[in-house]
C-alpha cells in the first residue's frame, strides 16, 4: 500500500485522485472480506446451524465481519484477515458434506464476485475511460477514478482470496474443506492444528510461492476478461 502511494506521489498524482484510490481500495477490501464471511454464515444457517445468526453474523453488513487489526494489517503490509464465522457442526444433518459446503462457500463467493465485477469493469473501462497521448487511461472526474480503482482492486483481491484460501493449511478454508473428509483424530489434522500457522508463514516466504501465486491469479483474471471480451 505504501509502495503504491509513493509511486503515485512520484508520478505527481493529485491528492483528490490519491484519495479516490484509497477509498476504492478500502471499499474493495471491505466488500471482499465481508461477503466471504457472510457466505460462510449463510451456508451454515441454511444447513441447519443457528449459531451464525445468534452471533449476529448472518448479515451483509461488513462491519460485523471485519477485524480491525486484520484490516489494518492488509492496508499496511498487504496481508490481513476477517473475523472467522463460528459454526456448530452438531446441527448439521450430514457433518462431512455440510462442513465441506460451509468451508468452500467463502472462496466460491469471492470467485463469483470477481467474475461479475470483471464484467462490470471491462464494460466500464472500454466505454467510459479515455486515453492520453501516452496511452494512460483518464477520466473526467474523480468519482470515475474511484469506481475504476474499486472495480480493479475488487477483482484482484477476490481472486487472490479465492486462490490463497484454497491452500490446505490450517487455518485456511482449504484446510477446513480437507478436514471435513478426514476423521477428527487424524494425524494430519492434529499436525496442522499444531504447526499450521508456522507452516503457512514459511510457505508464504518461499521464493517460488509468489511466482506460482501470480501465475494462477493472472490466469483466472485473463480468463474472465477474455470471456467478457467476447461480448464487446
Residue 152 designated active-site: no
Q: Pick the catalytic residue: 37, 86, 152, 222?
A: 37
Half-sphere exposure of 200 (CA within 13 A, CB side): 20
Residues 56 and 38 sit within 8 Å (Cβ to Cβ): no
2, burial (CB in 10 Å: exposed 0-12, middle 13-18, buried 19+): exposed
Helix, strand, or coil (residue 138): strand
Helix, strand, or coil (residue 50): coil
φ/ψ of residue 150, rounded to 5:
-60, -50
CA distance 191 to 182: 13
Residue 131 cell numbers, joined: 486515453
DSSP annotation of 206 reads S
CA distance 147 to 190: 45
Active site residues: 37
Amino acid at each position: 500500500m505504501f509502495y503504491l502511494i509513493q509511486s503515485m506521489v512520484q508520478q505527481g498524482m493529485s491528492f483528490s485522485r490519491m484519495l479516490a484510490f484509497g477509498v476504492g481500495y478500502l471499499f474493495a477490501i471491505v466488500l471482499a472480506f465481508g461477503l466471504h464471511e457472510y457466505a460462510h454464515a449463510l451456508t451454515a444457517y441454511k444447513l441447519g446451524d443457528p449459531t451464525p445468526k445468534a452471533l449476529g453474523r448472518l448479515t451483509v453488513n461488513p462491519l460485523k465481519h471485519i477485524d480491525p487489526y486484520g484490516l489494518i494489517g492488509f492496508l499496511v503490509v498487504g496481508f490481513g484477515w476477517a473475523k472467522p464465522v463460528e459454526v456448530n457442526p452438531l446441527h448439521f444433518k450430514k457433518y462431512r458434506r455440510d462442513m465441506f459446503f460451509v468451508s468452500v462457500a467463502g472462496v466460491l463467493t469471492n470467485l463469483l464476485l470477481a467474475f461479475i465485477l470483471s464484467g462490470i469493469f471491462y464494460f466500464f473501462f472500454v466505454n467510459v475511460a479515455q486515453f492520453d497521448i501516452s496511452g494512460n487511461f483518464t477520466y473526467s472526474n474523480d468519482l470515475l477514478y474511484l469506481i475504476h480503482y474499486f472495480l480493479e482492486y475488487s477483482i484482484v483481491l477476490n481472486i487472490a482470496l479465492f486462490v490463497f484460501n484454497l491452500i490446505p493449511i490450517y487455518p485456511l478454508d482449504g484446510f477446513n474443506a480437507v478436514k471435513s473428509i478426514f476423521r477428527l483424530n487424524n494425524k494430519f489434522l492434529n499436525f496442522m492444528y499444531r504447526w499450521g500457522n508456522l507452516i503457512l508463514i514459511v510457505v508464504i516466504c518461499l521464493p517460488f510461492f509468489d511466482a506460482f501465486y501470480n501465475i494462477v491469479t493472472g490466469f483466472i483474471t485473463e480468463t474472465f476478461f477474455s470471456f467478457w471480451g467476447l461480448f464487446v
